[in-house]
Structure 1
Amino acid sequence: MEVTKPKEDWNTPQNLPQENKKVVAGVLAILLGSIGVHKFVLGYNTEGFILLGITLFSYLTMCFIIGAFLVWIPGFIGLIEGIIYLTKSDQEFYEIYQVNKRPWF
């Protein structure tokens, strides 16, 4: 009698979900964080539009002094979030940002 093992999918990690977007969201947050692309990738459309709106508003008011102060805020938020995303473990990132839907930091 021959014993056969159940077929295992050798290409997927055993403890991790299939759709972990940690690296994509982290890199996009660092590179394009000021326009909120990483928020759209994670499914946080409202927060993505907030970052995009702040960026557009700051560029439109750049001729006034207020735009010069606002223009760096969304990029700084994206940089911080990208670093946070990339320093978390895959399981921790999935639980916090994809299952529990924590939108900011």
Structure 2
Amino acid sequence: MKSPSTTPDPPACPRWCDRADCARRGRHQSRARHVETARAEAYVIDLSLTQSTHPAGEPLLLLTGVDDATVATLTLSLAQGAVLRYRLAALLDVAKIVSNQRRWS
């Protein structure tokens, strides 16, 4: 009779995980979503999801900004991300971009 294993099964990956070396990293990570525009910007910005491999881990949003010399990462809860989504939409609506000339009114 085989004795029960004392090592836990590896954590199941969330559907959004890139499944690349989660155990070594200690977290699940999605592929980065690049925030690209049609022009040169001061910062290169990426968004991704991350989650600890601990069973109690919750998904978080990572917003990473890079300029010539600095990398900064902001970690947000999904609740903060949801509120940020609506706040950004409201601010962009207030700015009213003129679509045919890409100028701000």
Bin for the TM-score computed over the shorter chain: under 0.3
Q: TM-score, normalised by structure 1?
A: 0.28
Normalising by the residue count of structure 2, what TM-score does the alignment of the two structures yield? 0.28
The structure in which a higher percent of residues are helix is 1
Higher RCO (Cα < 8 Å, 6 or more apart): 1
Identify the structure with the greater strand proportion: 2
